[in-house]
Amino acid sequence: MVKEKRVQEHRLPDLEDVSGNVVMRMAPSPSGPLHLGHSRMAILNDEYVKRYGGRLILRIEDTNPDNIDPFAYTQIPRDLEWLGVDVSEVVIQSDRFDLYYNEARNLIKIGKAYVCHCKQQDFRDMKLKGLECPHRSNTIETNSSEFEEMIRGSFRPGTATLVVKTDLNHPNPSIRDWIAFRVVDANHPRTGKKYHAYPMMNFSVAVDDHYLGLTHVIRGKDHLNNTEKQKYVFQYNKWKLPVYYHYGLINIPETILKTSIIKKGIAEGKYSGWDDIRLGTLLALKRRGYSPAVIRRYWIESGLREIDADFSWEIFNAMNKEIIDSGAMRFWFVRDPVRVTVKSPLPLQSRAPYHPGRTELGYRKYDLGTEFTIFVQKEDWDKFDDGDVLRLKDLCVVVKSGNVGNFDHREVTKDHPLKIIHWCPQDSERFSVYKPDGTVDNGLLEPLALDYNGIAQFERYGYVNKTADEAFFLYR
RNA sequence: GCUCCGAUGGUGUAGUCCGGCCAAGCAUUUCGGCCUUUCAAGCCGACGACCCGGGUCCAAAUCCCGGUCGGAGCACCA
């Protein structure tokens, strides 16, 4: 009697309160292209929209002009396309100032927002103590006219904010009266100096989430407090709340993700660009040869749970290998080469499959003659002493004698295993593999590989993404 | 400090809501074996976990209480 195996399928849990189609969103700020960390929200949202049907809105949150890279407006949609995320609609917050202003006016009218002129530090101190700021009790008329002045640009930055009233006794000080608008004097990449009063994220997000008709919101745990703040706007307007999910924080080790650091590095010439393979941007991952499918699979497997976890490159790479291996042609790349002369009584020909599991793809064949030059890795060759017998992969068995390998009739069998090393023919060309740790491996690449583009496996070396001139190391 | 959240093998997760089919599944790593003219891939097998202490119950990974540990937030950033 064999116990039936339980079949495991990694599937995201169902969403709550789904009636018909869902409307979801992802809301990156255009500070730069998307990186691995961002991809989680994109994939999760996309998966659910695909499951239930509905719409996925890309909302670009560009309400902080100091933190915008114009390149991001065009690159983010491209990153998403590469990920296979289907965006139904793109919304840019800097197009929607009028909406935010009107909603603010409304909040003022119902007595739920006021214009405050406190110094930043004073405002914070009073909140901490649960005290009311002197402007909190201003009349609706005063607040309305002062807000219009904020909009017109009558106030200098730091001298006026619009504050949403919540509860000064809220146990969490950060939830108490929070700032909804501030005065910004900056040149916005899209709107220039047209606007002076800028909405804060918590305000514009609440308004947009409502007007865009979101049914479900999935985002990181770092927004837990923001969600609480935003709920006040929904409550004051009697709007229906979306269902919120907050997934846990993922620590992605040994990876450079911070946009500010990357930007600085590019400016200083430390990195070649957003696609420098040392970075964790999607552009870099693409260049190294990762499949977008692995990113999707990894995040689906990680699920929606609120646990903080470490990102596992080990598992990520294993998943990617599974996806790419069958398409990865095998080639010989000889690092740190030494010249070896092979001598044989009869002409030799080598024959190595492009893929050992897919022999229908054919073989790499070289006619070599009776005495010819090959290159092997110094590290390999040095492991043998004169008189040692070894196998040159897919070629022949030789006996080492200095820098000569003499043909030998012995075979590799189960009872007599021989060490097998790879090699490349005389007319191989110099080739470099760039690694994500910033180092470069120089060597020789076999002629039949030179025109190949795409994911390859350099035998006994590792998987790489090869272009005409160079290759980027993926992993072993 | 305050508020909130979480805790399943080395790692990532399933199961927890509605207690029993869980002497805990899957993946990865490691180690064996098979196959193989790559230290690749594939196949087979093994090792390995319910944070601690109480409680409820016939029965707890699952419910309750208390600890411990970890994380996030506490900006005129998003």
Predicted local confidence at residue A391, as pLDDT: 94
In chain B, which nucleotides are within 7 Å of a protein Cβ?
A: 1-8, 10-15, 25-29, 35-42, 70-78
**Strand B contact with A462 (CB < 7 A):** no
- The nucleotide whose C1' lies nearest the CA of A221 is B72
Kindly indicate the confidence band of residue A145, based on its pLDDT and cuts at 50, 70 and 90.
very high
SS3 per-residue string spanning chain A: CCCCCCCCCCCCCCCCCCCCCEEEEECCCCCCCCEHHHHHHHHHHHHHHHHHCEEEEEEECCCCHHHCCCHHHHHHHHHHHHHCCCCCEEEEHHHCHHHHHHHHHHHHHCCCEEEECCCHHHHHHHHHHCCCCCCCCCCHHHHHHHHHHHHHCCCCCCCCEEEECCCCCCCCHHHCCEEEEEECCCCECCCECCCCEEECHHHHHHHHHHHCCCCEEEEEHHHHHHHHHHHHHHHHHCCCCCEEEEECCEECCCCECCHHHHHHHHHCCCCCCCCCCCECEHHHHHHHCCCHHHHHHHHHHHCCCCCCEECCHHHHHHHHHHHHHHHCEEECEEECEEEEEEEEEEEEEEEEECCCCCHHHCEEEEEEEEEEEEEEEHHHHCCCCCCCEEEECCCEEEEEECCEEEEECCCCCCCCCCCEECEEECCCEEEEEECCCCCEEEEEECHHHCCCCEEEEECCCEEEEECCCCEEEEEC
A231 touches strand B (CB under 7 A): no
Provide the CA A165 to C1' B12 distance, Å, integer: 43
Query: Which residue do the tokens 């409304």 mark?
Result: A106
Q: Smallest CA–C1' separation from A309: which nucleotide?
A: B12
Give the CA A79 to C1' B31 distance in Å.
Answer: 41
Q: How far is the CA of A31 from the C1' of B12 (A)?
A: 30
Query: Which nt sits closest to A355, CA to C1'?
Result: B41
* Nucleotide nearest the Cα atom of A417 (by C1'): B37
| Backbone dihedral angles phi then psi of residue A380, each to the nearest 5 degrees | -70, -50
Percent pLDDT > 70 in chain A is: 98
A125 beta carbon to strand B: under 7 Å: no
- A246 or A7: which carries more pLDDT confidence? A246
Which positions 336-375 on chain A have a beta carbon less than 7 angstroms from any atom of strand B?
Answer: 356-357
Average pLDDT, integer, range A73-95? 97
pLDDT at residue number A9 = 58
Residue A2 has pLDDT above 80, yes or no: no
As a rounded value in angstroms, the CA-to-C1' distance for A438 and B78 is: 31
Q: Is the CB of A130 under 7 A from strand B?
A: no
Q: Is the CB of A177 under 7 A from strand B?
A: no
Span CA (A415) to C1' (B3), Å: 69
Q: pLDDT digit string (tens) for A161-207?
A: 999 999 888 888 888 999 999 999 999 999 999 999 999 999 999 99
Looking at per-residue pLDDT, the higher value among A11 and A88 belongs to A88
Average pLDDT over residues A372-400: 96
* CB of A420 within 7 Å of some strand B atom: yes
Q: Rounded to an integer, what distance in angstroms lies between the CA atom of residue A203 and that of residue A108? A: 13
- pLDDT tens across A314-332, in order? 999 999 999 999 999 999 9
Using CA atoms, how far apart are residues A166 and A232, in angstroms rounded to an integer? 7
Of A4-13, A148-157, A420-429, which range is least confident? A4-13
For the stretch A274-313, pLDDT in tens is: 999 999 999 999 999 999 999 999 999 998 888 888 899 9
Report which residue is nearest nucleotide B39 when distances run from CA to C1'. A460
Average pLDDT of A420-449? 96
Residue nearest to nucleotide B42 (CA to C1'): A357
Q: Which residues contact A112 (CB under 8 A, 6 or more apart)?
A: A164, A165, A232, A236
User: Tens digit of pLDDT for each residue in A213-248?
Assistant: 999 999 888 888 899 999 999 999 999 999 999 898
Could you give the ipTM of this predicted complex?
0.92
From the CA of A315 to the C1' of B28: give the distance in Å. 5
More confident residue, A138 or A411: A138
CA of A52 to C1' of B20 (A): 34
| Distance in angstroms: CA A58, C1' B14 | 31
Closest CA-bearing residue to C1' of B29: A314
Q: Which nucleotide is nearest to A9 (CA to C1')?
A: B26
> Which residues in 279-308 of chain A line strand B, with CB less than 7 A from it?
301-303, 305-308
What is the spatial distance, in angstroms and rounded to an integer, between the CA atom of A248 and the C1' atom of B72? 9
Q: Are A46 and A56 in contact (CB under 8 A)?
A: yes
Q: 């690092």: which residue's tokens?
A: A335
pLDDT at A129: 85
Determine the nucleotide nearest to A160 by Cα–C1' distance.
Answer: B76
CA distances, A286 to each of A276, A290, A338 (Å): 10, 5, 33
A198 touches strand B (CB under 7 A): yes
- Strand partners of residue A476: none
A200: tokens are: 């804060």
Q: Over chain A, what is the mean pLDDT?
A: 93
Q: What angle do CA A338, A344, A349 make, to 5 degrees?
A: 80
Residues 71-100 of A with CB under 7 A from strand B: none
